[in-house]
């Protein structure tokens, strides 16, 4: 009888211990593990025609002395800057000024001095040809560019960024469905590099009437993102 009572007491003790510790929840074991996620990248792009051109205009002059070369160069550059302004140039800014001796003799003696001055300027793409012609007529003998850009570059980049996020979500949804899961919220998102307008293959017809043809072409602004989605 004592053995029966002891066995019964031991059984109740085991049941009580199991209740205190907690048995495995078989129903809960079927739920998705916490912390599951999928990380994907997306790329967005927007095509546009640039409407601004940046060019560089310079002039080099020679003189018997450094002072003479600089003085002559200053007169030439003033004429060029005035011509650029009259042609509608914007954001005119000095890029560099240099003076150096020129020697053609074997003994290294100085023959003369060279002075250079260069400025940058911005104009509408349609006015770039006229700007080049005006500067050349005013005496510019160093011309480079144009660098093409869009005045609404930030807006174009935001549009490309929106497309990049949409593409990333589409990729994540495909991966989730393939794994028999669905997407939850976003736990992390990282933006790639900033605006990066790239030349596009398609070109526009040049203005045949312009003495210096300028073809703006097409540009592609791209954006990239990396997003981590929770899985359900």
Average of per-residue pLDDT values in the chain: 80
pLDDT at 231: 94
Residue 135 has pLDDT above 70, yes or no: yes
CATH of the domain at 204: 3.30.110.170
- Name the pLDDT band for 110 (thresholds 50, 70, 90): confident
The residue out of 149, 181, 207 marking a domain boundary is 149
Q: Kindly report the number of other CB atoms within 10 A of residue 69's CB atom.
A: 23
* 105 and 57 housed in the same domain: yes
How do residues 15-27 score in pLDDT, each as one tens digit? 343 444 443 443 3
CA distance 127 to 133: 10
Does some domain include residue 16? Answer: no
Residue 82 has pLDDT above 80, yes or no: yes
Does some domain include residue 5? Answer: no
Number of domains in the chain: 2
pLDDT at 211: 59
Does some domain include residue 133? Answer: yes
* 181 and 141 housed in the same domain: no
Domain that holds residue 218: 30-49+153-231
CATH of the domain at 145: 3.30.70.2970
* 165 and 198 housed in the same domain: yes
Residue 34 has pLDDT above 50, yes or no: yes
Residue 66 has pLDDT above 50, yes or no: yes
Predicted TM-score (pTM) above 0.75: no
How do residues 137-196 score in pLDDT, each as one tens digit? 999 999 998 888 888 889 999 999 999 999 999 999 999 999 999 999 999 999 986 555
The residue out of 108, 130, 149 marking a domain boundary is 149
The residue out of 131, 149, 167 marking a domain boundary is 149
């Amino acid at each position: 009888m004592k053995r029966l009572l002891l066995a019964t007491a031991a059984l109740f003790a085991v049941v009580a211990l199991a209740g205190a510790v907690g048995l495995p929840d078989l129903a809960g074991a079927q739920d998705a593990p916490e912390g599951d996620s999928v990380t994907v990248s997306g790329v967005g792009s927007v095509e546009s025609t640039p409407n601004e051109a940046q060019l560089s205009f310079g002039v080099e002059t020679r003189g018997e002395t450094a002072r003479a070369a600089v003085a002559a160069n200053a007169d030439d550059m003033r004429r060029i800057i005035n011509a650029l302004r009259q042609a509608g140039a914007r954001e005119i800014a000095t890029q560099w000024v240099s003076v150096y001796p020129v020697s053609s003799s074997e003994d290294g003696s100085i023959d003369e001095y060279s002075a250079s001055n260069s400025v940058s300027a911005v104009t509408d793409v349609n006015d770039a040809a006229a700007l080049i012609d005006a500067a050349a007529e005013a005496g510019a003998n160093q011309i480079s560019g144009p660098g093409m850009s869009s005045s609404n570059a930030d807006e174009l980049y935001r549009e490309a960024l929106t497309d990049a996020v949409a593409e990333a979500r589409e990729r994540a949804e495909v991966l989730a469905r393939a794994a028999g899961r669905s997407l939850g919220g976003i736990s992390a998102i990282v933006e790639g590099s900033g605006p990066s307008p790239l030349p596009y293959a398609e070109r526009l017809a040049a203005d045949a009437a312009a003495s210096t043809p300028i073809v703006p072409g097409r540009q592609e602004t791209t954006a990239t993102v990396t997003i981590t989605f929770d899985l359900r």
